[in-house]
Structure 1
Amino acid sequence: MATPRKKDLMAVVPQGNPDSTGGAATARPWALAGQAAAALAAGMGVGRFVYTPILPLMHAQAGLSPQLGAGLATSNYAGYLVGALATIAVPALARARLALRGSLVVLTASLALMPATRAGDVWLGLRFVAGVASALIFVIAVSALLAGLHTRAQHLVGWGFGGVGAGIALSGGLLLVLRTTATWQQAWWSAAGLTVVFAILAWRLPMPAHRAGPAASPGGPQAGPRAFTALLTSYSLEGIGYIIAGTFLVAAIDQSASGWLGTGAWVLVGLAAVPSPALWAWLSRTWSRPALLLVALVVQAVGIALPVLGGGAAAALASAILFGGTFLGISTLALAVGTHLRVARAVAILTTGYSAGQILGPVAVAPLLHHGYQVTLLASAGVVALAAVAAGVLRLRFPHDLGPLPSRVRATRLK
């Protein structure tokens, strides 16, 4: 497979203001991508997703009930929504190095304090705080990444986003080693330690400076509301469906297979996620983004259902590859489509719908937890399938003429 070219990823990721580069513009491209990847690994890969492989340990050793487990996930996602909204209300947060460093410190503390108590209310508060910090880290790191690489080495943006997968893989690998020899408390402390390592690597991430860019032309062509409504529906449903699997996949596999398989599958999720943004960007040079979004959602729905429908190690590992290879790609594709449609504040609206879906997901499946985690995977796959239906509606009447045409679409128009 060819290496993604320089312009590939910017075709699927919303672009920052080219005039708002500041110190990010003078940093060496690989260094900037690596620092942003480290920040995303800390904020998302560990801070947000390490809960997934720790959950079975807390069930077994800390007496965590399935209902409280779902509540902790919901609290974290609610905090993420609050953090994302904070960057919309106070745009300067997205360019503040102090906010990045403070969030890294707060996130690390919230992880380290989880073993200090067995009180559910305290756990809920700590996961909420971790969610706020994760959102701030994500927005700041992505803003620096896009601003710094907007006019050079754009192919590295995908690898920067791959830091999320790297954080998942490394924290999952750590839990794979600890699961038979350590306690749930040591698991949280180890996660905090790994976050410290990533925080050190991300500490000097250069921030974009604020400069007023040219205003969007109010008279330019815009898409009708139907296309954006279909996109918003699809992406919000994806938020519900993917987060159910992202929270309970390891626990569901552990219910039907003993040993290393559940945590091992989670490591594979991270490894598959590392190259996925760059891969989907490369594909978008040839294929329509709505078509790719539809395909990615169908693949993800099949992957989520595999551990239930197939059973065994092969199904679990295949599920991990399909899930890990799509969830970041779906996000980059959906946000790029929103930008293509030229709807005002499209990225903010889509992110809000996606975040709201992530809050709703664990709450919606909480009544099903009495029947085991595998039932929740079927529900997750069903919701993602509905997201694919909405993406199919988007694909039918998508206004490709609002932006550059992929080669397949361009060839079809010339016939």
Structure 2
Amino acid sequence: MSAKSSSRTTGQQSAAPSSRPSTRTPKPQTDYADQEEEYKRLNAQLEAKTQALVEEADQVLRNQDRLLSADTHDRNYSLLDQVDTDEQLFRDMQSAALKPTDVRRGHTPSSQQQQNLSARSRKPSITKLQSRTGNEVALVNDDRYDQSIDRTVIQDKARSTFDKAVADIETKMNRTKTSANTNVMDLDEDDIFPGAAKDMGSEAKIRFLKARLRVMQEELERMQTECTRREEENERVNLKVKESDDDRTRLNRVITTLQDQLEKYKKMSSDTKSKLDTTEVELNSLRKEYDQTKRQTKKQQQDQTQTDTKLNRALEEAERYKQQLNKMQQTTKDASEQDKKKIEQLTNENRRLEKQRLELMNAFKRQLKLIDILKKQKLHLEASKMLQFAEEEFCKAIEWNTS
């Protein structure tokens, strides 16, 4: 409002006649245009960096979901493999083979023989049952067992048990593929126990169920912890993306305001320039009039001796011209003071714009720091994934060595 009033006062005062030419030149408009281009360029850079940050966050989330789904798929196939049921199966198989001879002889196998049989029958997984069948049957040939055990019966029993287990596993897999949406209450006992575990006793089945339940509980707890951690990371990334969007919106509003102010100042500058041109034209005309008056005064001084009337008239005109000249000088002085005030006002406005520019630069620096922090978090996340993978491999190696 003050800028408009000062420009109006300057226009009114410049309409008065003046005998002194104005040496003031209009302020160049290139600074505002350069600032506008700089703000546009910085805004484009900020939008590009924000878009890259959003794409990077989406890529991290997609990688996490893919790894989580892959780990879950692998774990679904490894739950039953962690439960060692071969020991009980082979123990029941051996006990079934030993019962006829022991009953005929009137005695049972000693505890030492049962322990040796159990120690030799421990293996890590059901999938290796076929390759171990010959070795398990070969254990019967040991001198520590009774020579009267029927080896053919044991070998036939082991092979039939293995074939039955394989058939049950294939049946279970086919049933799972074709009836994935059926009611859980209609599942038979083969969905809980493997086919090879049908011949186990009640106590062995209870131990198997307890081991399987413990493994599934540990797996469930670990998956819940992993899901909670992934959800927290997802919330943090979404919060940072939202903050970046808010900052970008705020900066866009600031840039729009600055552009409006720049257009207003351009319009004011063009108006002032037109007024200055008009004032210069008036000053030129006044100069011409003043020169003509001067020549007339000289002519009147030469004719001073001829007529007193012409002399008095010339003196009156000279006095009047002097008064006009003083008035123009005063007007010019007032105009210069108004120009100084306007220059000070524009200087203050430039300082304010410079301060806003510094604030924008600080905001851009904070955005760069935020991007660096996100990159570091990404590196930490990848390092944690590699550490988790190394821990899993180490645990697998330990389990392999213990087995």
TM norm structure 2: 0.20
Higher helix fraction (1 or 2)? 2
Mark the structure with the bigger radius of gyration: 2
Tell which has more relative contact order, 1 or 2 (C-alpha 8 A, sep 6+).
2
Question: What's the TM-score once normalised by structure 1's chain length?
Answer: 0.20
